[in-house]
Each structure stands twice: as C-alpha cells, then as structure tokens.
C-alpha cells in the first residue's frame, strides 16, 4: 500500500508539472495574438512555420482526446493541449486572414 501511495504521489507530481508547463506554453500565444490584432501586421510571420506548429498541435489534440475519453487518463495534457489548440488556431487564422487582406490591398 505504501508503494502505491508513493507512485500516486509521483504521478500527481508529474501531472502537476505537465499542467503548469502546458499552461505556460498555451498562454504564451496570448501576447502574440494581441499584437496581431492591434497592429494587423503579419508580413514577417512564416505561414509555413505556423501552419506546421498548428498541424502538430492538431495531431497532439487527437491523441489527447483519445487518452482522456477512451483510456481515461492524461487529463492535464488534454486541458492544456486543448487551450494550445484553440490559441494556436486563432493565431494561425489571424495570420492567414491579415496576410491575405494585406496582399489583396497591395494588388489593387
């Protein structure tokens, strides 16, 4: 019983680390999203890079959904990855929107 308690404590500790780290990474999108909305300037962004990051997060989200709803584990990962998925998608959509809007104005 004592070993089970130690393992549960270690698991809870690592889940907490994942939750904190995942939250920090997810919230990191907010300043960039705010700056894009404020300046409407995205010409220096690599759309290939942002698209690649977003596709990677989509694959991770599929894994997180499976782990959470089917295996019934990885709740912290599911929460933080879902936040990253939403914010990364928002950033990606804004970059593509303002990039295309800028290019339409420039071609007129």
Decide: 90 and 29 in contact? Cβ < 8 Å: yes
Extents of the domains making up the chain: 2-107
Rounded to the nearest 10°, the torsion over CA 36, 41, 85, 77 is -60
- pTM score: 0.82
**Average confidence score pLDDT of the chain:** 89
CATH architecture of 2-107: Up-down Bundle (1.20)
pLDDT in tens, 47-82: 999 999 999 999 999 999 999 999 999 899 999 999
């Amino acid at each position: 019983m004592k070993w089970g308690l130690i393992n549960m404590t270690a698991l809870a500790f690592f889940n907490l680390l994942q939750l904190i780290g995942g939250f920090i990474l997810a919230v990191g999108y907010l300043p960039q999203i705010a700056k894009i909305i404020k300046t409407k300037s995205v010409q220096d962004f690599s759309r290939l890079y942002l698209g690649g990051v977003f596709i990677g997060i989509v694959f991770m989200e599929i894994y997180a959904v499976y782990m959470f709803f089917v295996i019934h584990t990885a709740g912290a990962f599911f929460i933080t990855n879902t936040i990253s998925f939403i914010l990364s998608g928002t950033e990606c959509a804004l970059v593509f929107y303002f990039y295309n809007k800028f290019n339409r104005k420039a071609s007129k």
